[in-house]
Amino acid sequence: MKIHIQYYALMREQANCSHELIDTTATTGRELYRELSNRHPFTLDVSQLRIALNGAFAELDAPLTEGVEVVFIPPVAGG
Amino acid sequence: MRHFRFSNDAIDAASETQATHNPAAGGFASFEGWVRNLNEGRTVARLNYEAFEALAVIEGEKIIAEAIKRFGILTAHCVHRVGELAIGDIAVWVGASAPHRAEAFAACRYIIDEVKHRVPIWKKEFYTDGDSGWVNCERCAQPTSASDHSHQSHGHSHPHPHAAHPTHHPEPTAEAVVPAANYSRQIVLKDIGEAGQRKIRSARVLLVGAGGLGVPAALYLAGAGVGVLGVIDPDVIDASNLHRQPIYTQGTLGQSKALVLKQHLNQLNSEVDVRAYVARADFKQLHELASGYDMVLDCSDNFTTRFVVNDVAKALGIPAVVASVYQYEGQIQVLTPSGACLRCLWPEATRDGLVGNCQEAGVLGPVPGVLGALQALEAIKLVVGMRSPLTSHLALIDLLSFETRRLKISKHPDCDATHSAPARGDQPILEVLSLDDAIAQSLVVIDLRNPDERHAHPLTVAHRALGSAEILANPSLLDAAAGAVLVCAKGVRSRALAQELTGRGVKNVYSLKGGLG
């Protein structure tokens, strides 16, 4: 299944890109994060970030569908 | 011995120092406030201090107890003069002794700042021209140049932070006539108009943080003519701040951000009643302070304060505009009493140190400039009653690509019942003060630093190198029975991780305070 991914903040930096298109067998955001963690040096625990599917916040265990856009949003503190 | 007292007689610094001696002390720091011969261009001949002693002693003792607890020092005391003083006399003396110098310095600074801010002491100055006048804290505390900063006379003060505005400053009143010309460019907007301007004029907005976000937010709100603008920030200006806080200058390094910002805002718009508070925003203090305001802007740089602002806004039923930045991007959200709050978005208590702040991750100066200006914009919309598209939404703004997103946040079903209580989920932090202490307690040393940091300052004691993510994914890597001490460069990451793990029920996890350097 092909999906579009967008990263923000710390995760963009760790993935070294803001967008990518990947082919995955992951069925949920939680599984996807685990899979991506093998490719990118992510340091956040999955409980500390939020995901959005097609422009709306979603639970980590919500199902992924073909062509979905997944946005990973870590919290940001600076000011 | 009492920790805080008043003296009618000259302060003898040597005997005060003697009284602070402690065999366990490895460091001692003291501060003396002296009577200066000049204040605001007038030559001072002598002055007189008066205090509401019964109340002042209670508050003074409280401040020192806070310093002892907060910084882990051995002891501290403070003596303040009352009565008539001559030029050069010691007006106030503070001393703190601690195992190490850092805590002694920090505690000493904390005590004098808090005493100036909270203890009810008044000063009457007698000028060489025969005139005299009561002077309040901020006018005296505001150094006029970097060179006289270290010799500034020690002036006081207010019985209550709410009173923190100069007595000579014009009070805004309902009758005050706003010169239309000042605000004509915004009054001409049909959503503002004269009615909107009157709402702006009667608005009271509190900014938490006078840094990268707070500076632009404050400038635009003062320019717009907000009636009362409060600014709370405990920090002094550092050279590394200037690129993103450009109203501060090389000449104001080391001075209080809140006070320098206030001075600037007074020059920008004398009609605005600007109130500066040199303090850190903990729940109790902010709750008390914010009860005098209609709205709070969170312009802080850490999660602890962001959640305090959220909880206070929820508890008081007032809106808050929250923003934060990371490198080239920012997040902004408007909290309203009936909408989703910060804890609805980040239900797991997010810890400082797990994601980078400006110091660790870097930031380009204009980025907080943009986000801070947006906070002022949203605040004005709320004040005049325009719809804010950021209510119960998070806006993600990437200033590298100019991509923006607005995501709806669902209000948690228990939000109103549970999201306003203070300090939820913050477990007590277990810290050790030195590696020697950790080894004496047979703790396993876990080095969280990256390879570069490890190379720069190699550890000479037995240890294991593990990443934060590795440990979070598998806390059983730490042998809970033996106990572990987490170490990093500054003590921030290790503290955050120890807090997170303790919160998850992992036992015997400690953090090395201050890190390895």
Each residue's pLDDT tens digit, A25-53: 999 999 999 999 999 999 888 888 999 99
Question: Are B214 and B241 contacting, i.e. CB atoms less than 8 angstroms apart?
Answer: no
Distance from CA of B227 to the nearest CA of A (A): 25
Question: Are B49 and B9 contacting, i.e. CB atoms less than 8 angstroms apart?
Answer: no
Angle at B351 between CA B348 and CA B353, to 5 degrees: 150
| C-alpha distances out from residue B103 to B94, B111, B237, Å | 14, 12, 20
**Does residue A46 belong to any structural domain of this protein?**
yes
pLDDT score at B173: 43
pLDDT score at B383: 95
**Does residue A78 belong to any structural domain of this protein?**
no
Distance from CA of A58 to the nearest CA of B (A): 10
Tell me how crowded residue B388 is: count the other CB atoms within 10 A of its CB: 19
- Using DSSP, state whether B441 is helix, strand or coil: coil
CA–CA dist B107, B143 (Å, integer): 22
3-state helix vs strand vs coil in chain B, percent to 5? 35, 25, 40
**Does residue A79 belong to any structural domain of this protein?**
no
CA–CA dist B257, B255 (Å, integer): 6
Q: Do B409 and A55 touch (CB under 8 A)?
A: no
ipTM of the complex: 0.84
- Per the model's pLDDT, the better-predicted residue between B142 and A65 turns out to be A65
Q: Which residues contact B426 (CB under 8 A, 6 or more apart)?
A: B349, B499
Angle between helix axes B303-316 and B283-290 (nearest 10 degrees) is 40
Q: What is the DSSP letter of B256?
A: B
**Which residue from A43, A73, A76 is facing B467, i.e. has the nearest CB?**
A43
Q: Which residues contact B423 (CB under 8 A, 6 or more apart)?
A: B283
What is the interface size between A and B, counted as CB pairs within 8 Å? Answer: 104
Distance from CA of A1 to the nearest CA of B (A): 25
Q: What is the DSSP letter of A42?
A: -
**Which residue from A52, A78, A79 is facing B407, i.e. has the nearest CB?**
A52
Q: Do B299 and A50 touch (CB under 8 A)?
A: no
pLDDT in tens, chain B (517 residues): 589 999 999 999 999 999 899 899 999 999 999 998 887 678 888 888 888 787 788 889 999 999 998 888 999 999 999 999 999 999 999 999 999 998 899 899 999 988 987 887 888 888 887 777 766 543 333 333 333 333 333 433 333 333 333 334 444 444 444 454 478 889 989 999 989 999 999 999 999 999 999 999 999 999 999 999 999 999 999 999 999 999 999 999 999 999 999 999 999 999 999 999 998 888 888 998 998 899 999 999 988 899 999 999 998 889 999 999 999 999 999 999 889 999 999 866 566 666 666 667 789 999 999 999 999 999 999 999 998 999 989 999 999 999 999 999 988 888 877 776 554 444 455 777 788 878 877 889 999 998 888 888 888 888 999 988 888 888 888 877 778 999 998 888 888 888 778 777 788 888 888 888 6
**Which residue from A18, A43, A79 is facing B324, i.e. has the nearest CB?**
A79
Q: Give the chain A residue nearest B306 (alpha carbons).
A: A77
**Which residue from A45, A47, A73 is facing B396, i.e. has the nearest CB?**
A73
3-class secondary structure per residue, B351-405 = CECCECCHHHHCECCHHHHHHHHHHHHHHHHHHHCCCCCCECEEEEEECCCCEEE
Place of tokens 């004098």: B112
Name the token pair of B348. 């797991």
**Does residue A18 belong to any structural domain of this protein?**
yes
Q: Do B355 and A44 touch (CB under 8 A)?
A: yes
Q: Which residues contact B455 (CB under 8 A, 6 or more apart)?
A: none
Tell me how crowded residue B288 is: count the other CB atoms within 10 A of its CB: 13
Closest CA to B307 of B344, B362, B360: B344
Which of B308, B354, B409 is the best residue to mutate to test the A interface, defined by the most A CB atoms within 10 Å of its own CB?
A: B354
**Does residue A42 belong to any structural domain of this protein?**
yes
CA–CA dist B469, B465 (Å, integer): 12
Q: Do B396 and A48 touch (CB under 8 A)?
A: no
Place of tokens 């730490």: B478
Name the token pair of B437. 């202490």
CA–CA dist B151, B414 (Å, integer): 53
Tell me how crowded residue B402 is: count the other CB atoms within 10 A of its CB: 7
What is the number of domains present in chain A? 1
User: What is the extent of the structural domain holding A49?
Assistant: 2-73
What residues in A contact B469, CB-CB < 8 Å? 37, 41-45
Closest CA to B420 of B290, B332, B323, B330: B290
CA–CA dist A17, B165 (Å, integer): 49
CA–CA dist B37, B44 (Å, integer): 5
Q: Give the chain B residue nearest A52 (alpha carbons).
A: B407
- Using DSSP, state whether A57 is helix, strand or coil: strand
What residues in B contact A43, CB-CB < 8 Å? 354, 467-469
A54: left (phi over 0), alpha (psi -120 to 50) or beta: left
pLDDT score at B419: 76
Q: What is the CATH number of the domain that holds A12?
A: 3.10.20.30
**Does residue A54 belong to any structural domain of this protein?**
yes
Q: Do B300 and A79 touch (CB under 8 A)?
A: yes
Q: What is the dihedral of CA B241, B247, B250, B251, to 10 degrees?
A: -130
**Does residue A31 belong to any structural domain of this protein?**
yes
pLDDT score at B153: 38
Tell me how crowded residue B297 is: count the other CB atoms within 10 A of its CB: 30
Q: Euclidean distance between the first and final Cα of chain A, in Å?
A: 39
Any alpha helices (H) in B203-256, and if so which ranges? 214-224
Q: Do B363 and A78 touch (CB under 8 A)?
A: yes
